Amino acid sequence: MIRPTNIKTPFLFCHGTDDQVVSYKWGKMSYEFLKSLGWNVTLKSYPGLGHGSQDVELRDVAQFLSDCLSK
């Protein structure tokens, strides 16, 4: 359920462009849908990354959390 009180909550999508489990296009479509509703959402794409993670992605997540907690 979409609640107006949650619309300002920062949300981070991290997605590899070569994900074999969850298609990148579905992640991007989800991001675009929430963005169109006015949600505070960010998409970080990782070229060549499959269904896993890499150091740069983990640094992006750490920075996102740091930014959110410092507000």
Any idea where the domains of the chain sit in the sequence?
Answer: 11-16+29-47
**Residue range 49-61, pLDDT digits in tens:** 999 999 999 999 9
- Contact yes or no for 18/46 (Cβ under 8 A): no
**Residue range 12-46, pLDDT digits in tens:** 999 999 999 999 999 999 999 999 989 999 999 99
- Contact yes or no for 58/30 (Cβ under 8 A): no
**Six-digit token string for 17:** 């462009």
- Rounded to two decimals, what is the model's pTM? 0.83
Quickly list DSSP for 1-53: ---GGGTTS-EEEEEETT-SSS-HHHHHHHHHHHHHTT--EEEEEETT--SS-
